[in-house]
Amino acid sequence: MMRRCVYALLLALVPASVMGQSPVSFAPDPNGHTDFAHPSGNIACIYIPAGGTRVYKPKDGGPELSCDQTGSGGAYRRYALGKSGGARIIQNPNEQDCCGSNNTLAQGARWAAGPFSCESTLEGVNCNRNDGSGFSINAKGGGRAYPKPK
């Protein structure tokens, strides 16, 4: 019951304009990955396709989606989804260069590639894999990872 309430709440946070909307598309950079940022400037995501890129190969072969978040007091988190398993939150990863991108995922917009999709809301970013695993990141700080539904 609680899990259903959480999913209903997440759906309520996504603007009606996102439902059924075609996803936006961003071109991969010369290295082969795609990135985008939330308009708040403190969340940025990177997509690595299956097989990896010239400069990075996921351990499981990919695809992989990760979003970095900066917060107050220097807090830094990475939210990550691989091709299987639940989403992970990594506190203070060693690669802190968040949160710039030439691509902005506007509020109300949806992005999708491979098995992943992300929606940008006023509150932050919600990303999922097609099996239901995912994470929600609040632009004001904090967030959570959730496993695929049973």
Q: What's the confidence (pLDDT) of residue 72?
A: 66
Domain hosting 118: range is: 2-146
Give phi and psi for 26, each to the nearest 5. Answer: -120, 135
Q: pTM higher than 0.95 for the full model? A: no
The average pLDDT across 43-68 equals: 94
The count of other CB atoms within 10 Å of the CB of residue 21 is 14
Give phi and psi for 4, each to the nearest 5. Answer: -65, -40
Strands (E), 38-109: 43-48, 64-70, 76-81, 88-91
Give phi and psi for 148, each to the nearest 5. Answer: -65, 150
Q: State yes or no: pLDDT of 78 exceeds 80.
A: yes
Cα 134 to Cα 143: distance, rounded to the nearest angstrom: 11
86-143 pLDDT per residue, tens: 999 988 877 666 787 899 999 999 999 999 999 999 999 999 999 999 999 999 888 9
Q: What's the confidence (pLDDT) of residue 98?
A: 75
Three-state secondary-structure class, residue 40:
coil
Q: What's the confidence (pLDDT) of residue 150?
A: 64
Cα 42 to Cα 21: distance, rounded to the nearest angstrom: 25
Count of domains observed in the chain: 1
* Contact by Cβ (8 Å): 48, 62: yes
